[in-house]
Amino acid sequence: MPTLYNGLIRIMEVVTGFVFLLEGAVVSLFKICRQDRFRDLYAHALRTVASICCVEEGINQLDKVDGILCLADILTEESSVEAARAEAAAVVAQITSPHHTSTQHLASFLESMHDIVTALIKLCDSASCGEVFLLASAALANITFFDSMACEILLQLNAIHILLQACRDRQRVDTPYSKDQVVTILANLSVLEQCAPEVLQDQGIERLLLLLGEKPSSVSPSEGAACERVQQKAAVTLARLSRDPEVSQIAIQLKAVPRLIELCRSPTERNNSDSVLVACLAALRRLAAGCPDSIEAADHQQLIKPRLVDSFLLCSNMEESFV
């Protein structure tokens, strides 16, 4: 039996997704995931499924074999090991990616969405390492784009508290990539009015300001891009939450305005990112609307009073300057 297991693992990890599609691999892999005697192979099988689902045809095949129901079963079953649940989360993240145009899996996913979202936020809460948290949070981030009901479910499940607590745990949230997923979820949740009190209760504004300062620790282009996304989405979340006057007041007290101005005026602080600039200008204008006295006259003249596009052009063309 060990020889059979090792052979299956080798096949699943080496052969390309395209060849697997030709051989009807999705059907075979989910047959493995539905048999208790192959429990030790679930994680390996699901990792291969995730690779296959990077193309639309892979998602279509997953839908035909009721793969989403199988994923939900693995995620929700208490006896499932963390590795299997993490790989199931990876498949969910793949099939719900905004990059996919196929919606054929939409109906079957919605039927299981409550169970899947519940299992994923539990996995975020209990994750033993950064990789597991990243896979679970990436799936949740994609799902919050997928259907607005997911955001309401997450609020009911105390997700804001769980995610903000995770950000304080370097064993779970240890890279800009994980922070990107967390702040994506927060940005989508912040559309809902009931989100603001939850964020305030867990000192979420302080966390958003820390995320506004996210910087890469290496010259890696992908890490730099992740940091830009973190800054942008943190600013977007802050702007949305600042509809609530209490959020605006606390953000101003915590010196959000000087940080946003710094990001607008200093290209290096925002890694020369136009998307970060736009988000910071929007957040700054939202705070200024609630508390005009928090903005000095010169900053108001350049960053608040003009049309957004004019302030954007001014800041995007300026050299390092805080005058």
Q: What is the pLDDT along the chain (323 residues), one digit of tens a residue?
A: 556 666 666 555 544 445 444 457 888 999 999 999 999 999 999 999 999 888 888 888 898 888 999 999 999 998 899 999 999 999 999 999 887 776 555 677 888 999 999 999 999 999 999 999 999 999 999 999 987 899 999 999 999 999 999 999 999 998 999 999 999 999 999 999 999 999 999 999 999 999 999 988 888 899 999 999 999 999 999 999 999 999 999 999 999 999 999 999 999 999 889 999 999 999 999 999 878 888 888 888 889 998 999 999 988 876 554 44
Angle at which helix 82-95 crosses helix 106-126, to 10 degrees, equals 140
Structure tokens at 282: 């929007």
Q: For position 30, what pLDDT does the model report?
A: 92
Which residue, 162, 67, 61, is CA-closest to 102?
A: 61
State which H helix or E strand residue 241 sits in: helix 221-241
In this structure, which amino acid lies at residue 11? I
Which residue, 143, 124, 120, is CA-closest to 133?
A: 124
Q: For position 321, what pLDDT does the model report?
A: 45
What dihedral angle (degrees, nearest 10) is formed by the CA atoms of 274, 280, 286, 288?
A: -120
Do 41 and 32 meet the contact criterion of CB atoms below 8 Å apart? yes
> Taking every pair of C-alpha atoms in the chain, what is the biggest distance, in angstroms?
76
Q: For position 176, what pLDDT does the model report?
A: 96
Q: For position 108, what pLDDT does the model report?
A: 78
Helices and strands (H and E) in the chain: how many: 20, 0
Q: For position 12, what pLDDT does the model report?
A: 56
pTM of the model: 0.88
In this structure, which amino acid lies at residue 187? A
> What span, in angstroms and rounded, lies between the C-alpha atoms of 320 and 92?
43
> What span, in angstroms and rounded, lies between the C-alpha atoms of 265 and 261?
6
